[in-house]
A and B are shown apart, each in its own frame.
Chain A
Amino acid sequence: MEAVERTRHDLIRPPARPVLRVLRKMAGPDIDGYGFIMPAAFIMIALVVYPFCLAVYFSLSDAFIGEESQFIGIENFEYIITEDDIFLITIRNTLLFAFFSVVFKIVLGMAAALLLLKALRLKKFLRGSLLIPFVAPTALTTLGWWLIFDPTYSHINWILENVWPFYALGIGPYHWLGDPDLALYTCIFVNIWRGLPFFIITILAGLVSIPEHLYEAADIDGATAWDKFWKIAVPLLRPILAIIILFSTIFTLADFNIVFVLTRGGPINSTHLFATYSYVTGISNHEIGLGAAISLFLFPILVMIVIGLLRLVRRDTSYEL
């Protein structure tokens, strides 16, 4: 199919001058393609690849704002791993963050998507309002959550103190963001709020794409709704679920806004993620080298995820053929 189209395309391509013909033989039929990708390639090299190499260099130096930097090898990494307790907390936080937010987003996202699938009326309104957390500016909506969790004005604490049955139970008030044991989970909660829409909408799209006749066939075989969910919907959704889990993990691992706005990494550095800790070290404390080294720890994790993703995408296509 592909080959046929190419030859037809070749027929209508204007006859080339000899030099051009040689170039085409070397670089492929569409040498003007290089012109098309030039601007994007320039941006990617100048503003992504080069800064990345610079980050690697910084991480191997004792760079400090306003001073000449010197190459010090892997000292920064050594220090972070062996002596820096906050970094250990950061790793623990990152794992907890990624785990809890993905689990809750999957479960809640699946539930909401199944409900939405059946809701034919008000579809636009329902979908629209469920998606809002994802499009609204995170920094600003998180400030709203900041008020909701404020020690004095907390709306949640107000409910716990004034609404039956909560005040009867005598729970709260809590220092949602001031308690080092609780603050991380409050941040995870807000992260779930913000990321859930992506899961709902994607899972819903996956559910819609499952052909109705599979369910009908299952009905004839006497399958219950439970059976249909686990034996038809879940297996068919698996590739989509895998991809959104990987995507969500990447963006959760690299999350900055929510934690920074809510706690700035505090209290007592108990809520740092790689991004916030590297910001505090590199920008607030001016230790550029150390900051760069911290954020570079994201990279191996990222590479593993990308490899996983690429393999998934490949497997998908081979399955199609």
Chain B
Amino acid sequence: MNSSRTMAMDASTDPAVNEAVRNRTPVWRRRKTTYNYLALIPFVAFALFPLYIILITSIKSDQEIANLGQTPFWATGMTVDNYVYLAEKTAFFEDWLINTIIVSVASTVISVSIGILAAYALARLKFKGVEVFGIAVFVTYLVPQPLLFIPLIDVINFIDDIVPIRDTYWSLIITYPTFLTPFVIWLLLGYFKTIPVEVEECAYLDGCSRLGALRRVVLPMAMPGIICAVLFAFTLSWNEFLYSLVFIQAQEAKTIGVGVFTELIRGDVYYWGSLMAACFAGTIPIVVLYSFFMDYYVSGLTSGAIK
């Protein structure tokens, strides 16, 4: 099923083809296309609605938010006060953002490097037990986090007796690969299988070792897959919530999601402005990253399901 990856790409990526299709399209069909676009508007509005509300609320002053008479969908005065508050009065940029970046980068590097090795073995090498390992990876991929968070506290305490990791971001760097690695392996396996064995054999003939062939030949050819794996691993660890909520209590060791949820929501009066500013500032890095590499996300999503 090598074709599964190309399915994500349309026949119409070529602008010349699009042009030709458009010129040959009769008028009645063009009108139908307009309805088609109109029908998509509710879907796009639905998808972007909460992000829009988050953004618009984050640039309102507290008085404006409290004024229930005016429309909540628009901001009349614009202010950056909420973001200033976030920077000066909370640990958002100082600790939580930095922690999230460190944890995401570290667990991505760990799980992608481990995943490359394992996926390569699964795709190419023949040894006893390799099929069992493949099924085990698939099963671990499907084990949800809620099944593991309680016993993992014990595992972290056990490691903590040797090296202090409790209540630091190290406990997250260690545990995130548990759900990242199986996913990365699964994703890369498909990419590695599409690389012809012949290229690798040439590398062996030229005197490459196995690792050399992997590094010089296979990895460059599987680059799209690896970018895809890196993006997904990074996004998944950036968005992770449960482990971070359970394993971290110290304010300065928290990640964005948990920091915002546990430190900014206090008492009965919510400061919606700064809360939404935090939500926006925590979401926007991922959205920007995603907008640059959208095609990789799409191919990763579809190849994960269609295989």
Interface residues of A (CB under 8 A from B): 5-6, 8-9, 12-13, 26-34, 36-37, 39-41, 43-44, 46-48, 50-52, 54-55, 58, 108, 111-112, 115-116, 118-124, 126-141, 143-145, 147-148, 150, 152-153, 155, 158, 162, 193, 196-198, 200-202, 205-206, 208-209, 240, 243-244, 247, 250-251, 253-254, 256-257, 260-261, 274-275, 278-279, 282-283, 288, 291-292, 295-296, 298-299, 302, 305-306, 309-310, 313, 316, 320
Please tell me if the beta carbons of A257 and B201 are within 8 angstroms of each other in the complex.
no
What would 6 more interface pairs be, CB under 8 Å, given A26-B128, A201-B302, A205-B306? A6-B126, A55-B151, A112-B43, A206-B7, A208-B7, A306-B139
B11, B44, B151: which contacts A129 (Cβ < 8 A)?
A: B44
Q: Which residue of B lies closest to A50 (CB)?
A: B155
Q: Which residue of B lies closest to A40 (CB)?
A: B118
B28 contacts the other chain (CB 8 A)? no
Residues of A within 8 A of B50 (CB): 133, 141, 144-145, 148, 193
User: CA separation between A156 and B115, bound complex, in Å?
Assistant: 45
Please tell me if the beta carbons of A153 and B68 are within 8 angstroms of each other in the complex.
yes
Residues of A within 8 A of B126 (CB): 6, 28-30, 33
Residues of A within 8 A of B138 (CB): 306, 310
B16 contacts the other chain (CB 8 A)? no
* CB proximity of A99 to chain B, nearest CB, Å: 18
Q: Is the interface of A mostly helix, strand, loop or mixed?
A: helix
Please tell me if the beta carbons of A43 and B177 are within 8 angstroms of each other in the complex.
yes
Please tell me if the beta carbons of A112 and B40 are within 8 angstroms of each other in the complex.
yes
Residues of B within 8 A of A137 (CB): 238-239, 241, 256-257, 282-283, 286
- Chain B residues 16-55 with CB under 8 Å of chain A are 18, 21-22, 33, 36-37, 39-40, 43-44, 46-51, 53-54
User: CA separation between A152 and B270, bound complex, in Å?
Assistant: 11
User: CA separation between A117 and B47, bound complex, in Å?
Assistant: 18
B222 contacts the other chain (CB 8 A)? no
Residues of B within 8 A of A202 (CB): 301-302, 305-306
Please tell me if the beta carbons of B302 and A144 are within 8 angstroms of each other in the complex.
no
Residues of A within 8 A of B178 (CB): 43-44, 47-48
Name the segment of B79-87, B162-170, B272-280 touching the other chain.
Answer: B272-280
Residues of B within 8 A of A58 (CB): 150-151
Residues of A within 8 A of B290 (CB): 128, 131-132, 135
User: CA separation between A37 and B36, bound complex, in Å?
Assistant: 49
* CB proximity of B206 to chain A, nearest CB, Å: 10
Encode contact with A along B258-293: 1 for CB under 8 Å, 0 otherwise. 101100000000101001101100110011001100
Given contacts A51-B155, A115-B40, A128-B294, contact A140 B282 (CB under 8 A): yes
Residues of A within 8 A of B101 (CB): none
List 7 A-B pairs, Cβ < 8 Å: A5-B197, A48-B178, A51-B152, A52-B143, A115-B43, A119-B40, A155-B73
* CB proximity of A2 to chain B, nearest CB, Å: 10
Interface residues of B (CB under 8 A from A): 1, 3-4, 7-8, 10-12, 18, 21-22, 33, 36-37, 39-40, 43-44, 46-51, 53-54, 57, 65, 68, 71-73, 114-115, 117-118, 120-122, 124-128, 130, 133, 135-140, 142-152, 154-155, 174-175, 177-178, 181-182, 185, 197, 201, 204-205, 210, 235, 238-239, 241-242, 246, 256-258, 260-261, 270, 272, 275-276, 278-279, 282-283, 286-287, 290-291, 294, 297-298, 301-302, 305-307
User: CA separation between A82 and B274, bound complex, in Å?
Assistant: 45
B144, B177, B282: which contacts A47 (Cβ < 8 A)?
A: B177
Please tell me if the beta carbons of B201 and A8 are within 8 angstroms of each other in the complex.
yes
Please tell me if the beta carbons of A40 and B297 are within 8 angstroms of each other in the complex.
no
Q: Which residue of A lies closest to B176 (CB)?
A: A47
Q: Which residue of B lies closest to A46 (CB)?
A: B155
Residue from the set A6, A128, A261, A310 with the largest chain B CB neighbour count within 10 Å: A128
Residues of B within 8 A of A124 (CB): 294
Residue from the set A44, A123, A153 with the largest chain B CB neighbour count within 10 Å: A44
B127, B174, B256: which contacts A27 (Cβ < 8 A)?
A: B127
Please tell me if the beta carbons of B125 and A32 are within 8 angstroms of each other in the complex.
yes
Given contacts A205-B302, A240-B305, A291-B150, contact A39 B51 (CB under 8 A): no
